[in-house]
């Protein structure tokens, strides 16, 4: 009788051991994400991309135009009620920040982080750019089971995190911490409503929470390989 009782008590442990799934590696999580949005070959074929987004706020309509060009050039223009309120331009080395109060050039670690985050499909280039990624563990995001990865630049000066859906492999959240004269600024972006353009899936809805307040952005269209010129990305 004691043997039977001991066996019954031991059975749940055996079942848990048999069914427990080991956590995937960082590379496996990133590879699944790349496959989920279209595959490495499709992503590597993209040489430039223009993303047009819009948001309706209490202060009126905001239009955001983001341009990216391989290997590491980008720009972002923000218009509010028909007026240009901010522009960022990165030439791969430095970033020019312009706004209603003037402009400034950013270089060093701050420019490095902005460039990494704005590179076309940055996950494909983490290794060559010296980005170190680690698996933090499982985490719930809006009720979804996700794997949370933490990334850091080679010198450790910049750190950000991504959450990938356990089932679909899609990225559902990013948290970026940037240093500024006012201290650290954390921006959380939640991605949803993925749809394909030229065979590549992009989130059509981005809900962002930053020190400036919440904002919901709708991706109106994505234009791929339209021949953007290097002259569009002068950071001077």
- Helix intervals (H) in 102-235: 108-118
Contact partners, residue 164, CB within 8 Å, separation at least 6: 29, 32, 33, 146, 147, 149, 170, 171, 172
Range of the domain at 97: 23-233
pLDDT of residue 1: 46
Q: Which of 45-54, 63-72, 172-181 has the lowest mean pLDDT?
A: 172-181
203 found inside a domain: yes
Residue 23 token pair? 């956590």
Q: Using the predicted structure, report yes or no on whether residue 18 has a pLDDT greater than 70.
A: no
| Residues with Cβ within 8 Å of residue 153, at least 6 apart in sequence | 109, 112, 113, 116, 129, 130, 131, 159
Residue 199 lies in a domain: yes
The answer to the question of residue 141 being in a domain is yes
Evaluate whether residue 10 is within a structural domain: no
User: Does residue 104 form part of some domain?
Assistant: yes
The answer to whether residues 146 and 173 touch, using CB atoms and an 8 Å cutoff, is yes
Query: What per-residue string of b and e applies to 150-170 under the rule 16 or more CB within 10 Å gives b?
Result: bbbbeeeebebbbbbbbeebb
Strands 132-141 and 213-224: unpaired
Tens digit of pLDDT for each residue in 76-92? 999 998 899 999 999 99
The answer, yes or no, to whether residue 180 has pLDDT greater than 50, is yes
8-state DSSP, 119 = S
Residue 198 within a domain: yes
pLDDT recorded at residue 44: 97
CB 173 within 8 A of CB 189: yes
- DSSP assignment of 216-233, as one string? EEEEEEEEE-----GGGG
In the numeric block, which tokens belong to residue 166? 């356990």
What is the structure's pLDDT at 117? 86
The answer to whether residue 219 sits within a structural domain is yes
The domain that contains 90 carries what CATH number? 2.50.20.10
Q: Residue 156 has what pLDDT?
A: 83
pTM for this one? 0.85
Rounded-to-integer distance, Cα 113 and Cα 157, Å = 9
Residue 187 above 50 pLDDT? yes
Q: pLDDT tens-digit profile of 126-139?
A: 999 899 999 999 99
Q: What's residue 21's pLDDT?
A: 64
Q: Is the pLDDT of residue 4 over 50?
A: no
Q: What is the mean pLDDT of residues 97-109?
A: 85
H/E stretch holding 7: helix 2-19
Domain count, the chain: 1
């Amino acid at each position: 009788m004691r043997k039977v009782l001991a066996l019954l008590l031991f059975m749940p442990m055996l079942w848990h051991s048999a069914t427990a799934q080991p956590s995937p590696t960082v590379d496996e999580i990133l590879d699944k994400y790349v496959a989920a949005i279209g595959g490495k070959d499709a992503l590597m074929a993209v040489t430039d991309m223009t993303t047009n987004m819009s948001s309706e706020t209490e202060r009126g309509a905001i239009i955001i135009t983001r341009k990216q060009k391989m290997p590491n050039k980008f720009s972002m223009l923000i218009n509010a009620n028909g007026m240009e309120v901010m522009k960022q331009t990165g030439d791969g080395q430095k970033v020019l920040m312009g706004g209603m109060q003037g402009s400034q050039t950013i270089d060093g670690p701050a420019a490095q982080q902005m460039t990494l985050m704005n590179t076309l499909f940055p996950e494909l280039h983490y290794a060559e750019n010296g980005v170190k990624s680690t698996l933090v563990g499982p985490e719930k995001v809006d009720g979804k089971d996700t794997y949370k990865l933490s990334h850091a630049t080679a010198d450790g000066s910049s750190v950000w995190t991504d959450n990938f859906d356990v089932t679909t492999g899609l990225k559902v959240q990013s948290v970026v911490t940037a240093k500024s004269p006012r201290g650290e600024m954390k921006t959380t972006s939640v991605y949803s409503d993925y749809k394909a353009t030229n065979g590549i899936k992009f989130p059509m809805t981005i809900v962002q929470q930053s020190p400036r307040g919440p904002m919901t952005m709708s991706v109106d269209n994505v234009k791929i390989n339209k021949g953007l010129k290097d002259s569009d990305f002068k950071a001077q």
